[in-house]
Amino acid sequence: MPRVLQEQFSEVRLYSIAGRTLSLSTAEEWSTRLVESFLGGFYYRKLDDAHADITCPIRILRGHPPAIPTGFRSFEMEQGAFYTNGEEYHLVFDDSRVVVSGPARPRVDIWIGDGPVARHPVALVNVMSAALQFALHRCGLSQLHAAGVVEPASGAGLLIVGDSNSGKSSLTVRLARAGWSYLSDDLLLLHEHETNIAARALRRTFSVSAGSIAGCELPRLEEALGSPVNSDPEKRRLDPTVVFPGGFVESCQPKVVIFPRIAHEERTRIEGLTMSDALLRFLKVSPWASFDADGSSYLRLIERLVRQTRAYIVHAGRDLLDDVTLAPRLFADLIND
């Protein structure tokens, strides 16, 4: 880093995950606190080694972001928009910006607006989440909105892939209650591990609604429940280490993938997917990767995951939520089939 630019930063902190190292440089005390608070909710390990080999630097900068280059294609995101030429990304969130350099020299730069909209807790989470997701992608890691659990008898991993309110947390709680080990209820990292694709835990806490835990009779529940989730006040943070002591595992080898959907029917139906159908569903989870110059690495990873797993759509009926013993039995049968 050039000396003139280095002097802008008051703190440079290193964090590692899955063998990769990220550096986060901040120029102000509030942005340093933001980094510590945000990353504290995830399984990043803080490093003290100043000589670590940095895979991708992330910088929170002062001033105004650069103009979006002409000729970049634009695409809508849930929280904003992004512009790309296939190499570089500009992600726009109201008054904030994330700029992701090309894969040849990976770097992520963040500018956060000064106004109340940009400094709202939900807006800050959106910006930091996007920045970390793209930084991890540049490191060969793919973030996946999915729950991960491990069936106790076989030790095989089950991934539950879906959008918010698709039932990931409800199913994870029921499986963990039945003695399955857990990685996360919502956010995983996929990466190459020896000859297979491994899933790795990313977020520390669960995010649960009253319906997610209804009828589960979880021990020490009041102690485990924390503050409401900023982006969805109807949900609260849940510390799974309190209600499921000894149940956490850092990673697993997935054998089965399910895509749940709320069916509004009495009985649950399970529908097998072909490898091509499963691949298409994974691509819908991270459509931006298709436009990236480094997207081929994501495609190879997902193709390998699809080949090593069996995939199903689970049309979740009322029986799956009413009977807390049903999910463990159904999914153990899928794994051991």
Report the C-alpha gap between 183 and 168 in whole angstroms. 12
Question: Six-digit token pair at 168?
Answer: 């990931």
Question: Six-digit token pair at 185?
Answer: 């209820």
Q: If you average pLDDT over residues 86-113, what whole number do you get?
A: 92
Environment class of 259 (CB within 10 Å of its CB; exposed 0-12, middle 13-18, buried 19+): buried
Q: Do 160 and 254 meet the contact criterion of CB atoms below 8 Å apart?
A: no
Report the C-alpha gap between 320 and 171 in whole angstroms. 9
Residues with Cβ within 8 Å of 51's Cβ and at least 6 positions away in sequence, in order, are none
Distances (CA, A) of 40 to 26, 70, 319: 16, 38, 37
Distances (CA, A) of 84 to 74, 98, 102, 225, 293: 7, 12, 10, 41, 10
Q: Whole-model pTM?
A: 0.91
For the segment 139-164, what is each residue's pLDDT rounded down to a tens digit?
Answer: 888 899 999 999 999 999 999 998 87
Give CA torsion, residues 306, 186, 150, 178, to 10 deg: -140
Q: Do 316 and 268 meet the contact criterion of CB atoms below 8 Å apart?
A: yes
Checking if the pLDDT of 7 tops 70, the result is no
Confidence of residue 221 (pLDDT cuts 50, 70, 90): very high
Q: If you average pLDDT over residues 311-323, what whole number do you get?
A: 93
Report the C-alpha gap between 92 and 205 in whole angstroms. 28
Report the C-alpha gap between 127 and 331 in whole angstroms. 36
Confidence of residue 4 (pLDDT cuts 50, 70, 90): very low
* pLDDT value at residue 150: 98
Kindly report the average pLDDT of the chain as a whole number.
90
Confidence of residue 51 (pLDDT cuts 50, 70, 90): confident
